[in-house]
Amino acid sequence: MSAVLFIEQVLNGLQLGVMLFLMAAGLTLIFGVMGLINLAHGSLYMVGAFAAAAVAGATGSFLLALMASLAAAAAAGAVVEVLVIRRLYARDHLDQVLATFALILIFSEGTRWIFGSFPLFLDIPAVLSGPVTLPGGIAYPKYRLAIILAGLAVAGGLYLLITRTRIGIQIRAGEADREMIAALGVDISKLYTLVFALGAALAGFAGALVGAIQSVQVGMGEPVLILAFVVIVIGGIGSIKGAFVGALLVGMTDTLGRFLLPGLFGLMMDPSAATTVGSALASMLIYVLMALVLLVRPTGLYGTA
Amino acid sequence: MKFKFLMGAVCAAALATGAAAEGVKVGMITTLSGGGAGLGIDVRDGFMLAVKQSGRDDIEVVIEDDQRKPEVAVQLADKMIQSEKVDVMTGIIWSNLAMAVVPAAVAQGKFYLSPNAGPSALAGKGCNPNYFNVAWQNDNLHEAAGAYANDAGFKNSFILAPNYPAGQDALTGYKRLYGGDLAGEIYTQLGQTDYAAEIAQIRASGADSVFFFLPGGMGISFLKQYADSGVDLPVVGPAFSFDQGILQAVGAAALGVKNTSQWSKDLDNAANVAFVESFQAEYGRLPSLYASQGFDTALLLISAMEKADVSDADAFRAALKAADFASTRGDFAFASNHHPIQNIYVREVIQEGDVFTNKVVATGLENHSNAYVDECGM
């Protein structure tokens, strides 16, 4: 195994990590501030991807497509919050899971109804297509590099938003004690709608970014949703910092596991058996990681009890 | 969700005269929602088109959605057998679902006509007189890809497929006829959408070609990422990733790729020309491989109904075995284990105006059967 291949795989892990962070940030924010488990978060990811594909198809501009994904997912999030989610804050988690699961079905069938069952086309913008040669002779796709940078920029922006702005103060206060900030005159329902729309916009953005290198199709959000839940459980539910660290951990573990494990087993058994055993174990690895983290820190890395 | 297509009335008039046969009730379990829905919808539409064209009013089709979940498929099969009392079952797309449903259904005396999945287990030791596969044995298209790799002079292929029965059959099939070395062999997760780690390994492996089997959305993701990675080794694969339904989503990334298929829309036989034209007229889109398989499945059923009554199982089975219908793929016959003997073509992805599609460039394997005939006792 060469160093170049290893560094390329680390970059791949980083890229998967920041993409997962965009999903997990919204999920953990919504749980932290409102105490809501939102299974329909993956549907907002899908909404972003479909909006981007539709706008890119109509205008040919990737930038417009990205903006459309943010707008569409935020709007879908706000509408869903006002119509459905608002009624669930006082209910227990089981009711929330049931209602948001119903939302998944509604979003999926609604999308199928509008766009049909066949995957849509969303391409990488011409400026970002093809590979770029990094120092050390590593050829890496420009677009993936752009995803890493965009994800890190969003993480930085989110950090500033939460630590340095008035809205950030309200969000943190809302996490700590929601009755108190309502008593202090903050319009809590408006804040909730805003946070939900923000989380939705992040998911939609992730969907559009990833849609360009994967397939834009109904049901694309659910596999990512499961990973995002693993991320926030590892990071500590409600913690943005935890989501960031957890996302990078999961991204690295998954990518490097898929790449290294079959080779590792290859040292002890014949190649085709090693491939089978290695791939099977690699697909479990992030769950093993989650179990280990929970064993040591039952509330996750940055969770508060 | 349930769609019921009653093709005309199974009318009292017919009963009164006592002249018409009883007719056949078909249970179709296929994937109509979720990620793999495009495949099931094409099979259903192809099947229903043939039923409609036959003009017969004695075929009743009950269609249910398996959501690509084995447990749902098993429940639906139980319901169809026990309460709907169907005579013939069909429709399943995915091999893992077929393995969950088919053995039990044929053991209860139902006929099963597979419009897609052809796992090796059902072709070899697990073959059954009531099970007919109208599409292919899973290995077939991959065997043709291996044969094509030899013709193209590939000496060091990197091969990958998802870790499930059809994926294992795929790599086995490719290796059966391929004579070169392997630069690497990877099983990916079923439903995986990011292939960066695999593509990095391909880049580093020193391979001279890539063979992959990744049906549906997995193939779209892989091809787009592969085209963008700057690795420009020739790619060969079975038709599933270059199918009409997904080529538009892959776009120019797939142009020039060679893929193997038992069917192509430009196959020049009367049945196929008429099928492509009528499918487009009926549904407003080009038919896919899956649509042709659904269409042929219905043609086979109708051809058997013309010769025998379904209540006479032995006669009906013999009528199915004769495969006396004009297949969209040209010559078609069943091997002794009830899987097709047919030509497998090499196609190339081309652009026709705005539409990406395939054209046949060579015949990969002629009158190809399958490797499991001897393992099956029939």
Residue B35: pLDDT band (50, 70, 90) is: low
Q: What's the CATH code, domain B139-261+344-368?
A: 3.40.50.2300
Both structure tokens of B350:
């081309």
Q: Is residue B224 within 8 angstroms of chain A, CB to CB?
A: yes
Give the residues across from B5 on adjacent strands.
B61
Q: Is residue B248 within 8 angstroms of chain A, CB to CB?
A: yes
B-chain residues within 8 Å CB-CB of A117? 32, 37-38, 41
Is residue A7 exposed (0-12), middle (13-18) or buried (19+ Cβ within 10 Å)?
middle
User: Which residues, in sequence order, are CB contacts of B323 under 8 Å at separation 6+?
Assistant: B300, B303, B332, B333, B334
**CA R_g for chain A:** 20
B33: phi then psi, degrees, rounded to nearest 5 = -140, 165
Query: Which among B38, B163, B198 has the least Cβ separation from residue A118?
Result: B38
In A86-220, which residue ranges form alpha helices assigned H by DSSP? Answer: 93-115, 142-164, 166-176, 178-183, 188-211
- How crowded is residue A233: how many other Cβ atoms within 10 Å of its Cβ? 20
Q: Smallest CA–CA separation between B159 and chain A, in Å?
A: 12
Inter-chain touch B204–A2, beta carbons under 8 Å: yes
Query: Which among B32, B33, B251 has the least Cβ separation from residue A123?
Result: B251
Summarize the confidence of residues A44-67 as an average pLDDT: 94
Summarize the confidence of residues A40-46 as an average pLDDT: 95
Q: What pLDDT does A303 receive?
A: 82
Residue A39: pLDDT band (50, 70, 90) is: very high
Q: What pLDDT does B265 receive?
A: 92
A-chain residues within 8 Å CB-CB of B287? none
**CA R_g for chain B:** 20
Whole-angstrom Cα distance, residue B24 to residue A170?
A: 67
Inter-chain touch B225–A258, beta carbons under 8 Å: no
Mean pLDDT of chain B: 89
Residue A217: pLDDT band (50, 70, 90) is: confident
Summarize the confidence of residues B235-248 as an average pLDDT: 86
- In the chain, the amino acid numbered A151 is G
Both structure tokens of B247:
């080529």
Alpha carbon dihedral B201, B225, B211, B133, in 10-degree steps, equals 130
Task: Name the strand (E) or helix (H) holding B186.
Answer: strand B181-188
Tell me: pLDDT of A46 over 50: yes
Q: Is residue B255 within 8 angstroms of chain A, CB to CB?
A: no
Q: Smallest CA–CA separation between A122 and chain B, in Å?
A: 7
B-chain residues within 8 Å CB-CB of A144? 196
Tell me: pLDDT of B88 over 50: yes
Residue B83: pLDDT band (50, 70, 90) is: very high
Residue B2: pLDDT band (50, 70, 90) is: very low
CA angle A186, A191, A197 (to 5 degrees): 170
Closest CA to B367 of B344, B347, B346, B338: B344
SS3 A90: coil
Q: Is residue B184 within 8 Å of B237, Cβ to Cβ?
A: no
Residue A134: pLDDT band (50, 70, 90) is: confident
Q: Which fold has domain B2-136+267-334?
A: Rossmann fold (3.40.50)
Whole-angstrom Cα distance, residue A131 to residue A140?
A: 5
Inter-chain touch B217–A144, beta carbons under 8 Å: no
Residue A172: pLDDT band (50, 70, 90) is: confident
Q: Is residue A52 within 8 angstroms of chain B, CB to CB?
A: no
ipTM over the 0.90 cut-off = no
Residue A246: pLDDT band (50, 70, 90) is: very high
Tell me: pLDDT of B16 over 50: no
Q: What pLDDT does B354 receive?
A: 86
Summarize the confidence of residues A56-66 as an average pLDDT: 93
Domain boundaries, chain B: 2-136+267-334, 139-261+344-368
Q: Is residue B288 within 8 angstroms of chain A, CB to CB?
A: no
Residue-wise burial string across A190-211, b where 16 or more C-beta atoms lie within 10 A, e elsewhere: ebbbbbbbbbbbbbbbbbbbbb
Q: What pLDDT does B21 receive?
A: 52
Q: Smallest CA–CA separation between A247 and chain B, in Å?
A: 15
- pLDDT tens track for B262-299: 999 999 999 999 999 999 999 999 999 999 999 999 99
Using CA atoms, how far residue B74 sits from B27, B82, B111, B333, in Å, is 13, 12, 16, 30
Inter-chain touch B225–A213, beta carbons under 8 Å: yes
Residue A1: pLDDT band (50, 70, 90) is: low
Tell me: pLDDT of A226 over 80: yes
SS3 B354: coil
Summarize the confidence of residues A242-251 as an average pLDDT: 95
Q: Is residue A138 within 8 Å of A4, Cβ to Cβ?
A: yes
- pLDDT tens track for A76-92: 999 999 999 999 988 89
In A184-220, which residue ranges form alpha helices assigned H by DSSP? Answer: 188-211
B-chain residues within 8 Å CB-CB of A147? none
Domains B2-136+267-334 and B139-261+344-368 are alike in CATH topology = yes
Query: Which among B35, B200, B248 has the least Cβ separation from residue A8?
Result: B200
Tell me: pLDDT of B18 over 80: no
Q: What pLDDT does A187 receive?
A: 87
The DSSP result for B256-267, as a single string, is T-EEEES--TT-
Q: What pLDDT does B5 receive?
A: 42
Question: Which residues, numbered 153 to 182 in chain A, qualify as contacts with chain B under a Cβ-Cβ cut-off of 8 Å?
Answer: none
Q: Smallest CA–CA separation between B185 and chain A, in Å?
A: 7
Residues in chain A: 305
Query: Which among A129, A143, A275 has the least Cβ separation from residue B186?
Result: A275
Whole-angstrom Cα distance, residue A35 to residue A96?
A: 10
Q: What pLDDT does B9 receive?
A: 40
Q: Smallest CA–CA separation between B65 and chain A, in Å?
A: 13
Tell me: pLDDT of A270 over 90: no
- pLDDT tens track for B304-335: 999 999 999 999 999 999 999 999 999 999 99
Both structure tokens of B296:
């042929």
A117 versus B286: the higher-pLDDT residue is: B286
Q: Which of B42, B163, B176, B187 to mutate to test the interface with A (most CBs of A within 10 A)?
A: B187
Domain boundaries, chain A: 7-218
